[in-house]
A and B are shown apart, each in its own frame.
Chain A
Amino acid sequence: MTQTKQDVTVNIGGVTRTLASARAGSMGRVPLVEFIGDSEFTKAVAEEMVVMIPEGTEVLLTVVTNALPLAHELSHLSGLPYECVRKKRRPYMQDPIIQDAPSMTLGVAETFWLDSPHAARLKGKKVAIVQDVISSGGTAQTLARIVERSGGTVSGYLAAFRQGESALALPFKYLEKLPARI
């Protein structure tokens, strides 16, 4: 392995991490932000992000898996409940909202699922969408559609990081930029 690699280091709220990276097809390597397994970093990022939650927001919405501990911590700090969209059907789901999504990482179609009791908690509510990393905005658009179909309205879009320079169709708030590739 003779590849040259440029480390990407982030510092959020006094916590510094050098990001791992993964090969992504012909794109080269992309930096990875890992909230799973890192409760210290997750807490620091959530503490910086909590002020980004738009006023009037009543519920947070995220999607599995990496952003889940971040959404939990944001919920804990803000006192707002959160709901979590799944990427697999579970047998106990009752009349779930099913929404096809463009995959961000692998070029494979993904399907998002939100069970009806959870969707009911978005109805009539102002919902902020929470993600770990925003790239093209495809995941956010899918989550926004689920909010709409649940009878809620989107109050804003929050991400810890923005990856790359592609034009965002949505008014995102984020803490820091990351390079699209290393």
Chain B
Amino acid sequence: MGITLGPVKTHNVQVGDVTRELPIVEVAPGVSVALFNMLGDTEVTEAAGKALARLLPADIDVLVTPEVKALSLAHVISRESGKPYIVIRKTQKPYMVDPVAREVVSITTGIPQLLVLDGFDVPKVKGRRVAIVDDVVSSGGTLHSLRQIIEEVGGEVCCILAVFTEGEEREEVTALGHLPLFSAD
């Protein structure tokens, strides 16, 4: 579909009992996405977190999520399931012990960014069955880097939970819905 000047275009989504009109925003020349931002949307975060907690396999040991937008989602899935979660940071902090880092190009930022696992969290992942939690899985770049970091420290990625897949559907991702990409023409 074409994006033209005028009223802001939106894309309707449903998360559990909650519906939202997502603004369609151009993130690169000719490429627009339906912007899904859970930060500050407690209702959507609770609905998605509770739904995803029900889909979480019982044999998962730990949830791993990248900061920052999916953080509250991981908190809710953790609270509902009783599973711990750890957060992969986007900057290396001075207090981190032997951090493990990977660079990734994100579709929503377009620039390379760092993913860093604090060495302090490594024992919580090593030898454990891991579920990756993210808000939107799009190009899969973040997912690929997360998987690399988790496997490098001896964790096994058994499950990927997301609120939405975007662009192409991915059978390895357990998602509540799908977002198309929008191209200007």
Instruction: Please tell me if B79 contacts chain A, counting CB pairs below 8 Å.
Output: yes
Interface centre among A68, A72, A90 (most CB of B within 10 A): A72
CB atoms of A118 and B71 under 8 A apart: no
Q: Is B174 an interface residue (CB 8 A)?
A: no
Partner of A82, one of B40, B71, B84: B40
Counted as pairs of residues, one from A and one from B, with CB atoms less than 8 Å apart, the total is 66
Contact partners of A75 in chain B: CB under 8 A: 42
Closest B residue by C-beta to A76: B42
Instruction: Give the residue name and chain of the B residue nearest to A30 (CB).
Output: B95
B120-141 CB contacts (< 8 Å) to partner A: 120-121
Contact flags A23-38 to B (C-beta < 8 A → 1, else 0): 1000000001000111
Closest beta carbon of chain B to A74's beta carbon, Å:
9
Shortest beta-carbon distance, B21 to chain A, in Å? 12
Q: Are A76 and B46 in touch, CB under 8 angstroms?
A: yes
- With contacts A36-B71, A68-B72 taken as known, whether A118 is within 8 angstroms of B40 at the C-beta atoms is yes
Task: Find chain B residues with CB under 8 A from A55 CB.
Answer: none
Report if A170 contacts B (CB, 8 A).
Answer: no
- Report B86-127 residues with CB < 8 Å from chain A CB: 86-87, 89, 94-95, 108-110, 120-121
Which of under 10, 10 to 19, 20 to 34, or 35 or more describes the interface residues of B? 20 to 34
Which residues from 1 to 38 on chain B have a C-beta closer than 8 Å to any C-beta of chain A? 25, 27, 35
- Chain A residues 27-86 with CB under 8 Å of chain B are 32, 36-40, 42-43, 64-65, 68-69, 72-73, 75-76, 81-84, 86
Asked if A171 is at the interface of the complex by the 8 Å CB criterion, the answer is no
Contacts of A82 in B (CB 8 A): 40, 42
Q: What string of 1s and 0s marks CB contacts (under 8 Å) between B41-80 and chain A?
A: 0100110000000000000000000011001100110110
CB closest residue in chain B, given A21: B95
Contact A72:B76 (CB < 8 A) given known A37-B85, A37-B86? yes
Instruction: Judge whether A39 and B95 touch: CB under 8 Å.
Output: no
Please list the 9 inter-chain residue pairs (A to B) with the smallest Cβ-Cβ separation, ordered nearest first: A22-B95, A39-B78, A69-B75, A39-B79, A72-B72, A75-B42, A84-B39, A83-B40, A36-B87
